[in-house]
Structure 1
Amino acid sequence: MRIGIIGGGAIGLLCASYLSTHHDVTVLTRRKEQAEEIRAAGIERTMNGETFRSVVDAQTGLKGTFDLLIVTVKYHQLNDVLHELSTCPRQRILFLQNGMAHLLDLKNWVSPHELFIGVVEHGAMKVSDHAVVHTGIGLIKWGAFHHEGKSDLMDELTDGPDHFEMVYTTEWEKVLEEKLLVNVCINPLTALLHVENGQLLSNASYQHMMTCVFEEAVTILGLTDKERLWAHVVSICHQTAANQSSMLQDIVKGRKTERNAITGYLLKKAQMQGIHAPYLTFFDRSLEVLEKRQTKSFE
């Protein structure tokens, strides 16, 4: 397949690196400098101290058509991408955003495209315009947004490279909710406290705050089976103990976070249901302050 990866961040580079082993991949970036660097040097992916180089194409802007477009930009960048995609010929598009706020945008988006939604369970950290570290192996679970999934696309993506399995599911909304629960328990706290994921479990005070957020989030989402879900959050925290969350990386580098897609989305749902969520409110407002300061004081 000819695949276009929209976004040259950590997830975009990771997807391009792995998918290029089976497909013709082009990374679509905002900056000419990054596109030129990827074309010249390829993408370097490091995992467990071993580095792999992938040869991929790169360009700025959306030019031409693809068998599949994969959108990996963060939520606050999504509206600009949707505007550009609105003028493109009909294509299959897979969205890989954190949180669930983008679902509301896609439901209101009038377009001819076939839309798919996915959840990324991998850990990744971008170290340069053409290099990414694969910090944790997981899955990409994806499904059709508002139509039947195409069997040929399912076959093409299922037959993928090692360490990068893509699994089709009809229960993608449930998968998104459980990923959102993990994100809201880990990302805001690590960003505010400036700690690696594992410290949320090793410090009793941090873990208490995490359980308080967990209780608010499961209530807002209407999730049951809390024992299993909490065990899942703890398991992810253990598996990624040495990782810096993407939200912490954004704060350290003075970038806008995915606050609106995670805490912001949950607070909107809470308001609609008349649910009081003091911990989420505090985390959301604290992150907003840090974003406005564009702080680099942790570096």
Structure 2
Amino acid sequence: MKVHAPSAKALTPALLARWPFPNHGVDADKEARGHVLVIGGSVETPGAVALAAIAALRAGAGKLTVAVPASVAQGLALTIPESRVIGLPQSTGGSFLAQGADKLAPLAGGVDAVVLGPGMLDAPASLAFVRKLLSHFPHSTVVLDAFAMGVVEQGALDPRVIMTPHAGEMAKLSSTTKEAVCDDPLTSAVAAATLWNACVVLKGACTFIAQADGTTWRHEGATPGLATSGSGDTLAGLIGGLAARGLTPPVAAAWGVVIHSRAGEVLARRYGPLGFLAGELSAEFPKLIHAAHHRQRRP
């Protein structure tokens, strides 16, 4: 099916000013700033979960729970002392088992945003886990990243779901080529958002955000250093943290893309265009979010 994709609106300062950050007030406790659940990881890639989880806290979320395969839970708990860490059942290959989703179901009523997929292995068992988990969290914003996005092969999702593919992932999920996605990324993003009934963030030098209703935005960044291992995990966590604070899925996605890009610009000025680490991005988020919020409050 050919999808007509109109021009995407640029995420300009004037447009972003219409989407203020929540003003929690000086008396707000951690409950008021939202609870994020980050799920993913494997024996080989536990760091991806750490990057996403730290980014969620740096976005200003008040509470953090992390769920990982049982074999890496203790290491993550020591790496992120601010979090509650839950070890889930795993297969002999280290992937999630579907029944592990039931262990997280009791959290559903108190979790505002779920970040699902960073560091997750590509296995049928993991996708069964993802589908079951989505059914347990019907009222949470869910950010799908990495192999968790493969769940779209089993049917449409929900507008509360945010997907964060790069061009290669989009090509695989859409059964096309990376070249085709890169030739017309806006059309690819709109087609995916329409088909999957989700908010799609197609990452690249120019990132496109598309909603199922055809609304689109774009953000152009010239920071090649952001194309590095762990950068996408950090973005997913940032978006999840903003969603937990109360931003709607498309607004959380838009601000996440912008703040992530601005953090890359800060590090590029400090270190040079290449060579800064994804783990260094999150430390820049609080200052950038505060500055953006301050500009919005000016008369």
- TM class by shorter chain equals 0.3 to 0.5
Give the TM-score taking structure 1 as reference length. Answer: 0.36
Higher share of residues assigned strand = 1
Structure with the larger RCO, 1 or 2 (CA within 8 Å, 6+ apart): 2
Structure with higher Rg: it is: 1
